[in-house]
Amino acid sequence: MTTTAPGLAERAVHAARTHRAADPDGFHHRHDTRETWNRWARRARVARTVAAALQVPLDAVLVTDDPHRTYPTRNGEVPGDLITVTDPPTGQAWRFIPDDTTPGQAWLLLQRCPRCSAEIPVAPVATLADLGDHLDPDHDTPPTWMNQDPAGHRPDCTAAGTEPQ
């Protein structure tokens, strides 16, 4: 038996079905207005950039509305980007939000706070090495600790504004 790689049509249909299932609202309404189409196209570029930076296949990256964060624009508040990378070999989901200091070039890794379980930004990631440095830090240099912003934690969380243990 021979296995052939699926053709473009088959992969395109698979991609559409995957998007419909993962982000029904975003996919269904992408043509509604110029703004929604623009956001859709911009997020496609974000997905390509993140996939290249983290060396994962493009279809492992999904960019959807961030349910917790909005950003001000000329036309009012718009939902931020929530970037979900589902690692094909392990199935583990990694979530990122944009790093406002480097638009389109680096992202903030989200992890659950061990105390309040809110998803909070823990490390800026522009390359695979940044993620690796966060996972396996060099103990000669102080860690980049992004956890001091209490905004992401639940109000009574004792970890907000503290150093990691």
CB closer to Zn ion out of 138 and 156: 156
User: Residue 122, interface with Zn ion (CB under 5 A)?
Assistant: no
Task: Work out whether 159 is an interface residue with Zn ion (CB under 5 A).
Answer: yes
Residues 6+ apart with CB under 8 A from 104: 45, 46, 49, 98
Crossing angle of the two packed helices 34-54 and 128-135, in degrees rounded to 10: 70
**Min dist. Cβ of residue 125 to Zn ion (A):** 20
Binding mask 65-104 for Zn ion (x = CB under 5 A): ----------------------------------------
- Residue 60, classed as helix, strand or coil, is helix
> Which secondary-structure segment (H or E) carries 135?
helix 128-135
Contact 27, 20 (CB under 8 A): yes
**Residues in 100-119 that interact with Zn ion by CB under 5 A:** 113, 115-116
Smallest gap, in angstroms, from Cβ of residue 153 to Zn ion? 3
DSSP 82: E
Return the residue of 53, 54, 82, 157 that touches Zn ion, per CB under 5 A: 157
Which residues of this protein are in contact with Zn ion, per CB under 5 A? 113, 115-116, 153, 157, 159
